[in-house]
Amino acid sequence: MSQDVLFDFERSDRIGLSEALYCGSKSPAQVEAAVADLAHRGVRVLLTRLDEVKYAQLGDSVRALLDYDSFSRTAVLGSLPMPSTPPRIAIVTAGTSDLATAGEAARTLMFYSESAEIMADLGVAGLWRLLERRAQLVMFPVIIAIAGMEGAFFSVLGGLVGNPIIAVPTSTGYGVTSGGHTALHAALGSCAPGILVVNIDNGFGAACAALRILWNGARPTSVN
């Protein structure tokens, strides 16, 4: 049985965003075959959920093609463009544990020439940490907010600034907050109006949504 990937090469033309290679449920052999095929065609592509164990199982020749970052579990096949100046997207996290997801979002934005400013550890148990950043935050056209546990972070932020806010609940926590569903539901049911939400731990999706907002449907021609 052939295990070749049937890539959606025209997605970028349709919606500005090209297909990414989600490695979470692919075998190393499947990742290898896809990367080799895409490299052969000269296609730039972003790989997500490529953890260190799976990355180490790829052949040397394939690994040599990739710009890999273990912390965010992402890799890039092909060149990384110069980032836009200055950052138009703020990525704020409630805790240190949310930084891997922040990294996935930041790397996705970099793939599309957007840089982001990351501000970590602004959780609401220490409210001053977030209040001090308010003036700075309102300057960004889009804010990506990342939090696990009970997700109170989203509501406080949403009541402080009027910018578009993309909430990314994370699976950080244990007991009732294990798996991220409490943070997800807190984001969706927030008492602050107009919070937007993506799947648990989905830094990639948050970045794509931010690009949809920034580009407003039209991918800049400067992005190859």
Q: Which of residues 20-39 bind a second copy (CB under 8 A)?
A: 20, 22, 24-27, 30, 34
d(CA 20, CA 76): 10
CB of residue 156 to a second copy, shortest distance in Å: 5
Judged by CB under 8 A, the residue of 37, 125, 220, 222 near a second copy is 125
Show the tokens assigned to 160: 């402080």
How far separated are the first and last CA of the chain, in Å rounded?
34
Does position 216 interact with a second copy (CB under 8 A)? The reply is: yes
12 by Cβ neighbours in 10 Å (0-12 / 13-18 / 19+) ranks as middle
Does position 47 interact with a second copy (CB under 8 A)? The reply is: no
Instruction: Tell me, by CB under 8 A, how many residues bind a second copy.
Output: 106
Q: Are 106 and 118 in contact (CB under 8 A)?
A: yes
Judged by CB under 8 A, the residue of 96, 136, 222, 224 near a second copy is 96
E strands in 17-115: 21-22, 45-48, 66-69, 74-77, 89-93
**Cα dihedral 211, 212, 215, 221 sign:** positive
Does position 89 interact with a second copy (CB under 8 A)? The reply is: no
Does position 212 interact with a second copy (CB under 8 A)? The reply is: yes
CB of residue 47 to a second copy, shortest distance in Å: 13
Whole-angstrom CA distances from 23 to 47, 52, 224 are: 7, 12, 23
CA-closest candidate to residue 140, choices 171, 122, 120, 119 = 119
CB of residue 180 to a second copy, shortest distance in Å: 6
Judged by CB under 8 A, the residue of 8, 37, 51, 52 near a second copy is 8
For 73, which DSSP code? Answer: T
Of the ranges 35-43, 53-61, 74-82, 186-194, which one interacts with a second copy (CB under 8 A)? 186-194
Task: Name 116's bridge partners.
Answer: 89
Judged by CB under 8 A, the residue of 1, 53, 64, 135 near a second copy is 1
Judged by CB under 8 A, the residue of 38, 45, 47, 49 near a second copy is 49
CB of residue 110 to a second copy, shortest distance in Å: 11
Judged by CB under 8 A, the residue of 58, 95, 111, 144 near a second copy is 95
Cis previous bond, 169, omega within 30: no
Smaller CB distance to a second copy: residue 66 or 110?
110
Of the ranges 37-45, 51-59, 77-85, 169-177, which one interacts with a second copy (CB under 8 A)? 169-177
Q: Tell me how crowded residue 155 is: count the other CB atoms within 10 A of its CB.
A: 18
